[in-house]
Amino acid sequence: MEQMIEISGIPIDNLTADEALALIDRTIASGKKSHWATVNPEMILHASKDPAFHNLLRNVSVRTPDGIGILWAAHYMQSKPSPSAIVSRFQWLISLVSILFFPRYVRDPLRERVTGTDLMSKIADFSQKRDWTLFFLGAGEGIADKAIEHLSIAYPKARFVGSFPGSPKPEDYEAIVQRINLAQPTLLFVAFGSPAQEQWIQKNLVRLPSVRVAIGVGGAFDFHAGVIRRAPERFQKVGLEWLWRLFREPRRLGRIWNAAVVFPSLIYQQKRFGHR
């Protein structure tokens, strides 16, 4: 595995999507268990205020960079200060603006976004060559079923063994665990949103004998179900998927403000003053 890049005290695995898939393949073949988190700026912000969640993210098996903001933060934190005091002071802002015009600028040291949505597609595709079974937990009523329906069309030999909306409430743990164990999946995708999905996996993965890899995927079921339309590929490639979603879903302004303004400010403060 490539080196980890630390952002706000959270190590991020420097994996491409193909490398992530190869790692999942090796993990399943080894018989070990693995908890994956697809880390975005909002999760880093939450971890900066919640020591328990910060510790959880530090201790999951793998953390992939989900979002252009994570790639930018890794690049900015490792960049050398400009000799000019004025330029150095605004270096973070210059690097942010550069994303709009030179998106490849931030693909160093982290090389690629590995989102929950993309990872699900790759796993479903690759599972057709392996004896893997997949279970979807979370999202609204019927959404996981619709996502499975669409993925089954794209990957007809993939084996989807169940879905359940469930809830991350502790009183619902037992019923969900029993349902998953009845289906005996190899891989579990959990879409409760963060931090609930990471907390659920941390507390329950040990109780799922068949599950080798559990991944928190946020809103990925909504995309695969067609409930939310994903940004055109050109927006995805340049890291402007967030802008597309803002135009289509203005109610997301608060979340996008956190990712596009509050998160960069946190990273700037940490680089300038050296605290986490």
Report strand pairing: 213-216 vs 34-39: parallel
* 175-201 CB burial, b ≥16 within 10 A, e <16: ebeeebeebebbbbbbbbbbbbbbbbb
Orientation of helix 51-59 relative to helix 41-49, angle to 10°: 130
Asked if 107 and 243 count as a contact pair (C-beta separation under 8 A), the reply is no
pLDDT of residue 1: 45
Asked if 116 and 192 count as a contact pair (C-beta separation under 8 A), the reply is no
Helix (H, G, I), strand (E, B) or coil at 94: helix
Helix (H, G, I), strand (E, B) or coil at 148: helix
What is the residue-wise DSSP string for 30-68? HT--EEEEEE-HHHHHHHHH-HHHHHHHHHSSEEEE-SH
Closest C-alpha to 14, from 30, 1, 33, 29: 1
With 0.85 as the threshold, say if the pTM is over it: yes
Closest C-alpha to 54, from 11, 15, 14, 13: 11
Position 63, amino acid: R
pLDDT of residue 81: 65
Backbone angles phi, psi at 232, to 5 degrees: -55, 155
What residue ranges of the chain have pLDDT lower than 70?
Answer: 1-2, 81-90, 92-93, 98-105, 229-254, 256, 274-276
Q: How far is the C-alpha of 133 from the C-alpha of 128, rounded, in Å?
A: 10
Position 219, amino acid: G
Position 19, amino acid: E
Sign of the dihedral defined by the CA atoms of residues 245, 247, 252, 253, in that order: positive
pLDDT of residue 268: 86
Domains and CATH numbers, the chain: 4-43+51-66+113-225 (3.40.50), 68-112+239-273 (no CATH)
Cis peptide before 185 (omega within 30 of 0): no
Tokens 């879903």 label which residue? Answer: 249
Q: How far is the C-alpha of 6 from the C-alpha of 9, rounded, in Å?
A: 6
